[in-house]
Structure 1
Amino acid sequence: MPIVNLWYETNMTSDTSPAPLVASASSSNSARPSYLSFRDSTVNTWQSATFNGAGSSSWIKLNFGEPKNVNKIRMWKNTGLALAYHPSYIYIEGSNDDLTFNVLHHTGSLNWTDVIELTFENDDAYQFIRVRITNTPNSTLTTIGRILFGYNGFEPIDKTLILNDGEYKKWDSKYKHDSLEMPENDLVLSTTSAVTRVNHIKFDSNFILQKIGYKTEGSNSLTLKIYEKDSQKLVFSMPVSITKGWNYISISDVELLKNKDYLIGFYGTNIYGYKTPTTIPISMVSSNHYINGTVFGRYDASGDSFPTTLNNTTALMMSFEGTAVSESGSNWMSVSTTTPTLQQFLEQGVDSLSPLFDRKITVLEPMAMSNKNEILLSEEGKVFSKTIDLKKYFDIRSIRTEVK
């Protein structure tokens, strides 16, 4: 199971931004609202309007907008107030309805001359986390500088396998989102002239292309081009604005066929190339991918025309994102005939049970029935029957029979 160690950076600019975060407190000085303690600063942060001494309670709270796993907290001194105004005893509490709060941790060991970091046991996710202050050395008001919540532990998982006919199964959809990226290397300027530079690429599965990435060292306007290599047909063309670094270009669904050769690249000036380590194909293969691709070098043209000149030493630095389409279609696939291991749940478990509930109501066309009187033997009457093979599980909601 993956282990995570993170802090939830909030960087709030008001009590309600950025969304969906909401900061609040039992009371606040009008010039020191609660959100000031949920930003990257310890100067003039939240302070309560009042504090009635030992036995009373003030609090500051963060609404994450959704449940979060929290088992650690960092707190800094408010550099605008003396140590005497800082808490000497606190409770850390969580809630999912903002009414009933569970105590996650409480302590009176607080040294405000340094950053305070507390860790505690908590396996539950909460949308609302608050720090409740029950005592301070100075009883007129209380404050905390910066507050940061975090989580250190196993990453929560929500994976499901279905037990059916003695087998644990998963829903294997024919459509799987995937992305591929070429291994990075140094970029060099191809030419300053207006030219066409395209990668020769082939995918090992049908691929609905939805986004193309391109890395460059310059900024300019180009025209994205996709050609079928053998037929020289222009499949897609779109003007794009490019800036230095990675550029991700969303496109309308462009269907690329399995094992078909395509040329994908740009027409324009100042196109940068990628130094390939050798002249052999660049394979974008990963064990976690549903689709793999191979780049077979680059093709060029001196203007805005179909590129025919092969260049085997450089290629455009590109990535591809879209939907891989399985030829086998969607189906329930067996994972194990025994209780699945944790690794099988992590790798094979489905994220959604929607296929179980995605049902359609279909009205079948009327069909003539066959006379089956022979099954009555010596009994009187008539029997008619019709066999229907829907090749899937189904619920019969109603049957209507007409006698003529």
Structure 2
Amino acid sequence: MSTYLLDSCADSRVLISKRIAQRSSCKEEALEPNQMIVDAHHHLYVRPGVTYLLDNLISDIRESGHDVRATVYMQARSMYRSHGPNAFRPVGETEFANGVAAMSASGIYGKEYVCSGIVGFADLMLGDGVRPVLEAHIGVCGGRTSSGGRFCGIRHPSAWDMDTRLCNPAYPSSEDMMRSKAFRAGFMHLDRLELTFDAWLYFHQIPRIMALADAFPNVPIAVNHCGGVLGISAYANQREAVFDYWRTQLQFLSLRPNVMMKLGGLGMEISGFGFESADKAPNSLALARAWRPWIETCIELFGPKRCMFESNFPADKVSYGYGIGWNAFKRIVSSATPDEKDELFWRTAMGFYHLPLNEALQPLGTHDITLKPQ
């Protein structure tokens, strides 16, 4: 069973806590410490065995030595409202993230702009009924990022597999959910409200997101975690076959100009790299060696202007430390030009999510802050 889906029993809580503590104790000096970074995807939550809030993220950033200037908060079923209509309860998570953003923007916590952009959850299966929920998300964030607020868009997880152990019961899905009339009626309101969509699915569902991108060419879509690599359950010992199918489908997906790729999320146990269960925490060389074929393929097919790095913390924290993850990314793209690195590490994320430009986000050295057309 994946740690992503571990239940809340006492043994699981202890296991997760021990893994995170052991991985966090492994440190490295930051490579290219002046490379500005926007962490395009992280969570904050209180879960069995894991408490990860603003102080924890700030601590990880500071200890890493990397120049993380801003972050994008990604929905994680955190701090939902405990009352009111079920459809509106996820708005509580956006309220929470916006409060964290306000704390960070005060400057009391330092120069980082945590939760500069916020991606929430709304049940797109509500069809037209999702519109007031989306408007509520926008309202509690002071508007969309494109108009000076903090709300970016929606992630409605749709990861599905025939093996129910790989499915998260908190997000009921099906093989055909993304092409259902209800889902697409709800998705239409992302287009009308000029919101983004984060897609969390598995690699064999890539044709589904292709069809969605074709149906809604004006909706910017970010495919999470390198396209949902699987390496456990029926996919264990099938790495080559998974890679070949995944790469072929990504070639077709890359032809959709409204689709971007998030590079990261490979520390989750479902990816099958096994770092979470190793006796010794991996260093950045080990991570880079394992991830290079996947990340390089994404960059080759989509190009730096359509790829952005993500920490996926604390979900990936069971496998490695925050700074080591960024070192691994930097090793993989060590031969890229400075401009390409800027695209990958901050410019693509800022453009996709329309993050605000301000004095805290001015890069060090001679990098040009100007956002380039996507």
TM-score by length of 1: 0.19
Tell which has more relative contact order, 1 or 2 (C-alpha 8 A, sep 6+): 2
Bigger fraction of residues in strand: 1
Q: Which structure has the larger Rg over C-alpha atoms?
A: 1
